Amino acid sequence: MPNVVPGWGQAGELTTGVGVSLIGREARFRGQKVLLAAQLPNPGSVTVQFNITNQFPANARARVSTAVNGVSINRIISVVDGATITMRGESVDVEVADFTDSTISTGREYVVGITAAPGERGANKQPPMLAPLVVGAASAGPFTAIVGAIPIAAGGDVWIPIDPDAGVISVFTTLVYLGALAAGEFRVDHALATGLALQTYDPREFNDWVPLAPNTEFIHLRNLSGAINVAAIVTFGIDG
């Protein structure tokens, strides 16, 4: 008889605009969730994949945890149709919650499907991804929920916190602007909460994922132009 590969699946409904909970510089899972939990027949790699139906503007996040001898490892990713992540352990737990900003959509139901099976995700350059939820005017806050592009006025700056529980290993920054923004007039810093920059660069010179500097706590975006307003799209790459 052929070998039967074990697998697990779960699906459930989420509702837009009810799940955002910000505590300090982290976004917390609360309220309505879709959950999956499984004990692997043998310790090893497990790949989790997601499906979304009733597609419309929604922002869901998943926390994926694996454990070995009671020691757990967590990853947090944005949930889009077809998103996958591979982790290793003896068991896997997944929780998905809605983090859609209520100004974008509220009260609309959609279905999230979760599947898990032993094995590795397909090899490709694109890591599992996480869109930041919060941005601050300064390293100490305050922070508010954001969606999509982050506006940064000429001469302005914003701080985006790194969730220490998410497994962020890289960052991709894209700029949108009208006019002539000279080289070096926009900077991305991988920074500590004290403001110390561990790494700094113009993202237009790195049209790719940039590895996160060790111990980075914030991504600091600085618009050094005196006249050009910029919108920045920031995406975190997650280990897995």
Residue-wise pLDDT tens digits, 109-128: 899 999 999 988 777 778 89
pLDDT at residue number 211? 96
Question: Looking at residue 59, what DSSP letter applies?
Answer: -
Class of domain 8-118: mainly beta
Answer whether 8-118 and 129-238 agree in fold.
Answer: yes
Confidence of residue 26 (pLDDT cuts 50, 70, 90): low
pLDDT tens digit string along 152-169?
A: 999 999 999 898 889 999
pLDDT tens digit string along 38-74?
A: 999 888 899 999 999 876 777 889 999 999 888 889 9
Question: 186-202 as b/e, with b when 16 or more CB fall inside 10 Å?
Answer: bbbbbbbeeeebeeeeb
Instruction: Say if residues 67 and 99 touch (Cβ distance below 8 Å).
Output: no
Can you say how many angstroms the Cα of residue 67 is from the centroid of all Cα atoms in its chain? 21
Confidence of residue 137 (pLDDT cuts 50, 70, 90): low
Q: Return the higher-pLDDT residue of 27 and 29.
A: 29
Q: What is the domain partition of the chain in residue ranges?
A: 8-118, 129-238
Mean pLDDT score of the chain, rounded to an integer?
86
pLDDT tens digit string along 179-235?
A: 888 888 999 999 998 889 999 999 999 888 999 999 999 999 999 998 999 999 999
The 3 state secondary structure assigned to 108-149 is: CEEEEEEEEEECCCCCCCCCCEECCCEEECCCCCCEEECCCC
Instruction: Say if residues 99 and 19 touch (Cβ distance below 8 Å).
Output: yes
Asked: is 129-238 a CATH 2.60.120 domain? The reply is yes
